[in-house]
Amino acid sequence: MEQKIEPKKTTVFKAMVSEQQVQNVADKKKTSLYGTVFNRPKAEDVSISSIELFYEPYWIVKGNYYSEYFRRTVYEFVTSPEVKEVIIGSGKFPVRTEKGKWGKIRASMKAGDNANKVEIPVEEHVELDIEDEIVFNSTGSEIKFDYKIDSRNVENFPEEILKNNEMYLRPSSLTEEQAVDGLIKLLQEGNMDEGIRKIKEKITIDRLEQIYVPVYEVRCVDSKNKVETLRIDGMNLKVL
């Protein structure tokens, strides 16, 4: 199968909220990490020990699948009850009729109700042209990507940001090749007929982008020294 894959692009989102804003959200949500909805600790019994900014990777892969091939199938036609054979070109196709008791019952029906059928084996010339996009999060799960990319919220020098924050990068469970394979599987799903004669098959990946999203991790400690982590989106203050 022919493949054409655009080079990988890297995008890093800027943290659009301040650490103080994160602190304010964490102060309101920290008790939700402990106990149950009916038995939460008091806010003064849970302290914030640290706030750190991490970057979580996403894969966005968009592409096109083109396939042209011949496949064998059978066309079924309904004929009127008096037809015994259908001739197409040099081919002769007998009409399928019911025999026995059911055949006699059908013969007594009105025309249309007791119509016979003829099956004609054919070879279809098929052309598929499918486009789609898939997004994976850091764990390799397929998700909906809710962030919009524009010049105001992305870093101008992404590679430099990643290099300077290497210890704060969360790993991706998918390699570049695995992300591409995920889209190929999606494009081919339900479109791979068996017993076909392929003429042409091509995959074109026109978007292969790894995007890093800033996420604040807030470490909280309760009165029993139990440590829990509150994750807050660095783009919109959403608790993750």
CA distance 190 to 194: 11
Instruction: Give the model confidence (pLDDT) of 93-133 as tens digits.
Output: 998 876 555 455 555 555 445 468 899 999 999 999 999 99
Provide the 3-class DSSP secondary structure of residue 148: coil
Instruction: From 109, 125, 141, give the residue that closes a domain.
Output: 125
Instruction: From 99, 125, 151, give the residue that closes a domain.
Output: 125
Number of domains in the chain: 2
Provide the 3-class DSSP secondary structure of residue 5: strand
Q: Is the domain of 62 the same as that of 95?
A: no
Helix-, strand-, coil-residue percentages of the chain, each rounded to 5: 20, 45, 35
Give a yes or no: residue 238 inside a domain.
Answer: no
CB-CB contact of 189 with 239 (8 Å)? no
Domain holding 87, by residue range, is: 69-125
Q: Is the domain of 107 the same as that of 169?
A: no
pLDDT surpasses 70 at 75: yes
Specify the range with the lowest mean pLDDT, choosing from 102-111, 146-155, 179-188.
102-111
CA distance 157 to 160: 6
Return the DSSP state at 237: -
Instruction: From 125, 160, 193, give the residue that closes a domain.
Output: 125
Give a yes or no: residue 46 inside a domain.
Answer: yes
Q: Is the domain of 19 the same as that of 97?
A: no
Q: Does the predicted TM-score (pTM) go above 0.85? A: no
Instruction: Give the model confidence (pLDDT) of 34-53 as tens digits.
Output: 998 889 999 999 999 999 99
pLDDT in the model for residue 65: 95
Closest CA to 229 of 219, 240, 214, 239: 219
Q: Is the domain of 10 the same as that of 117?
A: no
Strands 85-88 and 2-5: unpaired
- Compute CA 126 distance to the chain's CA centroid, rounded to the nearest angstrom: 25
Q: Is the domain of 140 the same as that of 115?
A: no
Closest CA to 47 of 217, 226, 216: 226
pLDDT in the model for residue 99: 58
